[in-house]
Amino acid sequence: MPRSTGSFRRTDLYGYYQELSKEQLVRKLMLGKMQRSELTQRRSQEIVAWVEEHPEIKTKVEERIRNVPAENRQRAFINAAKTEAMTQGMRRSASSREFGRRAVPIRPPPFISQERTRSGPRPRF
């Protein structure tokens, strides 16, 4: 039984991009970069809001970045907060396996659980 190759073949795709003007190609490239940038900014805003809701996490993050120069502090804060959010997510999954329930006082921000389920639902143990 022959395999279907989809609607586009390589030559069709190559021809499609060859027909576009340089301006159109640049616009497509810039659109992708802008969309990635907006997504990154939205996630950063979510993580900052999550940290503001949890004072104990905020103190941990501020402790980690106290020696960072002022010009790098905002980026370092977001990176440290993301790390802490992932740690909290790992603790949540470990505690649910150990005790058979989800007994967690701190929930990680929503984008962390969304990233994990992109490939499909997680198996339940």
Answer yes or no: pTM beyond 0.75.
no
Q: Are 85 and 50 in contact (CB under 8 A)?
A: yes
Residue keyed to tokens 């969304």: 114
Mean of all residue pLDDT scores within the chain = 79
Which residue ranges make up each domain of the chain? 40-116
pLDDT at 45: 92
Q: Which helix (H) or strand (E) segment is 42 a member of?
A: helix 22-53
Q: Are 85 and 110 in contact (CB under 8 A)?
A: no
pLDDT at 114: 47
Q: What is the CA radius of gyration of the chain?
A: 22
User: Count of residues for the chain?
Assistant: 125
Q: Which residues of the chain have pLDDT under 50?
A: 1, 114-117, 125
Q: Are 52 and 58 in contact (CB under 8 A)?
A: yes
